[in-house]
A and B are shown apart, each in its own frame.
Chain A
């Protein structure tokens, strides 16, 4: 789990983008851990949200993950 979280964060912090679809995070984890199960990756992302490192970004129709403090994060 901690490994997955690290892989997610490394990907997010190393990317020019600041918002990610779940699939982007999934791909990033699977690059290092090809056997990772989607549900476990989701649990890792959920933990990062609960810890306050990641935030949800929802358009209403679809939802992305963002790094707290990067890109559009302010309530405008």
Chain B
């Protein structure tokens, strides 16, 4: 199957888009790089060039040298912004304190997010980073790119910003680190007009949705995570750019309960692919695992000798519901007892596959610790089909938003609002019946806040009637 984008997609050709010539891009020698020193003394950073893991300091040096050697009019921001960034980092090490200030007014016109103002509090020492704003650029679903796009992005960002970026930030965006206020609009113009890509979310907006690799390259994916992510991002562009929420709101889309994009811990609404029919079993492939012909867990434990694969010990005994057995040369699964934890499938991917009747489990309310402590998402909808155009999912999302916008306090995440109102009230508002699947166990205190309508005869009683049976 193929997917068609909703908007017309400009085909990007780096050769047409590029800013720098090949000569400009190859403007230093390895010898020069070896001898290169930042303009500030940075002993701690020099130390971070050692060791096998990729050194961000060494990387920064490449960029700094490259910038130094470009002609003055070939950079629209400070030539030595990377030097100054590294100098400021060293000063922060010396002081044990950051040297960045926040600033809230900068942005591109008409958007309430996507740009985060940043200023140095030592501009006289590091003039190249006096203004050093962040821009978030909406990543592609699952972060696949081609080199035409990436090279164009690199030219744009080097020319109009520091040349330093994050691939990617925590929420999922490509993060441009450091530009000046006057460059924000020109960058936005080129991003939209030339590269056909938009800013991501920040502030009290829908944050940039993100998803796992999904069906593009994973046999476990139960849903089209990329398509769902793309559709929701496009459909809710207004919510992403123009704030109306009490606080931030995140969606993330995981293709299966392994949860590679961590939606269960990091999103106000977490969509996790699942299935409701039976795990598919290839009995011959099971035998191949038992015979040692296939490496368990796709070879993930290949670095150590764990001994011969033992299906009883490694699969059946570790099943959290004890719903499997190996009898008469066949692996049997009692699917009605299965909680779809993925362990058996992870251990024997050649033999076991998720079912075919797939959809999403929807969980609500995850967030980082401030204020009531970290929360994981609570299971609200056990199963929902997830097929384009996803109207059922959109309907549910908007119901949640309507309630949160109505009742949520400023800076109150969905998970906190559910806590404040109580899960039963949330379910009531969502018009969903309560189910034991929503809790780990029933409450152990009996302090049920009965409502008047729950109790036969109501609460309004006649004292005289009572007194007719009981003396004062």
A–B contact, 8 Å CB criterion (strictly below): yes
- Mask: chain A, 35-76; 1 = CB below 8 Å from B; 0 = not: 000110010011001100001111111111010000011111
Given A22-B244, A42-B244, A72-B104, A60 and B203 contact (CB-CB distance below 8 Å):
yes
- Give the docked Cα–Cα distance between A74 and B247 (Å): 24
Interface residues on B, range: 20 to 34
Residues of chain B lying within 8 A (CB to CB) of residue A49: 110, 112, 242
Interface check B161, CB cutoff 8 A: no
Residues of chain B lying within 8 A (CB to CB) of residue A31: none
From DSSP, what is the main secondary structure of chain A's interface residues? mixed
Contact B203–A59 (Cβ < 8 Å):
yes
Residues of chain A lying within 8 A (CB to CB) of residue B9: none
- Give the docked Cα–Cα distance between A22 and B103 (Å): 19
- Give the docked Cα–Cα distance between A24 and B147 (Å): 46
Question: Which partner residue on chain A sits nearest B133 by CB separation?
Answer: A75
Contact A63–B113 (Cβ < 8 Å):
yes
Q: Count A-B pairs with CB separation below 8 Å.
A: 85
Residues of chain B lying within 8 A (CB to CB) of residue A75: 103, 105-106, 117, 131, 181
Residues of chain B lying within 8 A (CB to CB) of residue A21: 204, 246, 410
Query: Residue B243 contacts which of A22, A39, A50, A72 (CB distance < 8 angstroms)?
Result: A22
Contact B107–A22 (Cβ < 8 Å):
no
Interface check A17, CB cutoff 8 A: no
Interface check A23, CB cutoff 8 A: yes
Question: Which partner residue on chain A sits nearest B409 by CB separation?
Answer: A23
Residues of chain B lying within 8 A (CB to CB) of residue A76: 103, 119
Contact A74–B105 (Cβ < 8 Å):
yes
- Give the docked Cα–Cα distance between A45 and B409 (Å): 19
Question: Which partner residue on chain B sits nearest A74 by CB separation?
Answer: B105
Question: Which partner residue on chain B sits nearest A63 by CB separation?
Answer: B203
Interface residues on A, range: 20 to 34
Contact A62–B411 (Cβ < 8 Å):
yes
Contact A46–B242 (Cβ < 8 Å):
yes
Query: Residue B204 contacts which of A45, A62, A72, A74 (CB distance < 8 angstroms)?
Result: A62
- Give the docked Cα–Cα distance between A76 and B101 (Å): 10
CB B329 to nearest CB in A, in angstroms, measures: 58
Residues of chain A lying within 8 A (CB to CB) of residue B402: 38
- Give the docked Cα–Cα distance between A39 and B110 (Å): 17
Residues of chain A lying within 8 A (CB to CB) of residue B244: 22, 38-39, 42, 45
Contact A56–B107 (Cβ < 8 Å):
yes
- Mask: chain B, 104-126; 1 = CB below 8 Å from A; 0 = not: 11110011110111010000000
Question: Which partner residue on chain B sits nearest A23 by CB separation?
Answer: B410
Contact B181–A62 (Cβ < 8 Å):
no
Given A59-B104, A76-B119, A22 and B181 contact (CB-CB distance below 8 Å):
no
Question: Which partner residue on chain A sits nearest B112 by CB separation?
Answer: A56
Contact A57–B246 (Cβ < 8 Å):
no
Contact A63–B110 (Cβ < 8 Å):
no
- Mask: chain B, 220-242; 1 = CB below 8 Å from A; 0 = not: 00000000000000000000001
Question: Which partner residue on chain A sits nearest B402 by CB separation?
Answer: A38
- Give the docked Cα–Cα distance between A56 and B204 (Å): 11
Query: Residue B406 contacts which of A38, A42, A55, A58 (CB distance < 8 angstroms)?
Result: A38
Interface check B275, CB cutoff 8 A: no
CB A31 to nearest CB in B, in angstroms, measures: 16
- Give the docked Cα–Cα distance between A74 and B205 (Å): 23
Given A58-B116, A60-B202, A42 and B248 contact (CB-CB distance below 8 Å):
no
17 contacting pairs across A/B (C-beta < 8 A): A42-B242, A56-B112, A56-B113, A56-B243, A57-B104, A58-B104, A58-B112, A58-B116, A58-B243, A59-B102, A59-B104, A60-B116, A60-B202, A62-B410, A62-B411, A75-B103, A75-B106
Instruction: Apart from A57-B105, A58-B202, A61-B203, list 14 A-B contacts with CB within 8 A.
Output: A22-B243, A22-B245, A49-B110, A56-B111, A58-B243, A59-B102, A59-B104, A60-B102, A62-B411, A66-B105, A72-B104, A72-B105, A76-B103, A76-B119
